[in-house]
Structure 1
Amino acid sequence: MLLAIDVGNTNVVFALVEYGEGGHTIRTRWRIATDPRRTADEYAVWLVQLMAIEGIDRAEVSEVIIGSVVPRADHNLTVLAEKYFGVEPLFAGQGKAAWQFEIDVEQPSSLGADRALNCIAAHKLIGGDLIVVDFGTATKFEAVDFNGAYKGGIIAPGINLSLDALVGKTAKLPRIAIAAPESDSVIGRNTESQMLIGVYWGYVAMMEGLIARMKDEIGRPVKVLATGGLAVLFDEHTQVFDMVEPELTLHGLAILATQAKAT
């Protein structure tokens, strides 16, 4: 069984992946807030107990792969893999788990592991020319061509970052929850509804506008795949996505681990 660890700026996701004749299946997953100070022992106490609740013994884990955009967290996760699971972890983009696709940009080494993993998984899932949208701490738009090559993209502030800035820099605006507005009206009748309209519909307009511009620049038929925690929320009120896969990065880790075994 594979333990896939996706280290993001906000959360670390641990997933157990099983392999079968038809490919891989994400059996279960857990999420914890990202804290580079968290030790391997602290991770183990938390994770091993959660595995036990699901009836899974840690001895069943035979592989570990880590995709990380937080380098300060890498050492403790390495110790976790070696001390508590008895395996040397693979790191996405390094060694046997090096990227096996073209990164056609000015600074290939600057591509984050999460973005690269999303490109790998999207190309494997649906192929063709693609735009991959990941709603995370930042919202990323990736252009992937029909050969699976990464051609570039866009980085925008995530919706929660935008809301934090709005509330943090004003004296009287309240904290609101991110949700789809109850009405399609874009003229709010009170402060909270006006804020929600600005954040939600403003984000939809930004997303649709950028995707339209990317499609025009690519100049060929393009499919759009969305991932991240808020992808389902936005999918309710836009027709721009051809597919939503919330666990895209984890699928990318599983695919990369399979490729690494073949090298």
Structure 2
Amino acid sequence: MKTSGNTILVTGGASGIGRELAERFHAQGNTVIIAGRRQERLDEVAATHDGIVGYALDIADPASIDAFAETVVRHHPEINVLINNAGVMMFEDLTRSRDLADAESTIATNLLGPIRLTNALIDHLTTRPDAAIVNVTSGLAFVPLIATPTYSATKAAMHSYTVSLREALKGKVEVIELAPPAVQTELTPGQSTRDGYMPLGDFMDEVMALFSRQPTPAEILVEKVGFLRFAEAEKRFDPTLAAVNDFARRAREG
């Protein structure tokens, strides 16, 4: 993936990792489109960056995705990079029967959303030079967090989907997976200051250095996420599962 001269769409681009990706790619000489549910938050980012524009999008709503894709392609036909970053993480109790609204919302946002948006844009992207799709998954795609089972499952599914997409689009669109470790963002309440989580700035410094490599790695993996990514291959899955879940529980409890 080339690092400048692109027109890049970042979903979930008003905060956290999405905002950092938008701002850092913009600083490298790219036009950046950010999308999210709250227009006012998008406008706050765009107001301080000439060359960033924001459009409202409900990534869980198929009709919103179709209308958004049509608008973006009409106003920005030069778009050649899609970064599927928007996501939600909700805690769930699997030990009792419960309302599954949170699980269903997580699947709609984290899995169906990027699949639908990619589908809406794929015919256009395959016509563009230097086209790329970046799917943001998680280290939890490889070792799940028991307290957020549907989140972990959607990220595992997106990892698998990305592998298939990469093979299907070989020679047409570059497909990259970005799998973060636990990062200090507001993905969950209190996470932005949680001890033991990777500072957002440090994470992004490492991510952008990996994006600058030629060729771009198929998987953007900062050093800290390797503990999760390679747990099964290194035959230490069970102790890693226990360690990760114990660490996360203690971190949430303070």
* TM-score over 0.5 (shorter chain): no
Higher strand share: 1
Query: Could you say which structure has the larger radius of gyration?
Result: 1
TM-score (norm 1): 0.29
More helix by share: 2
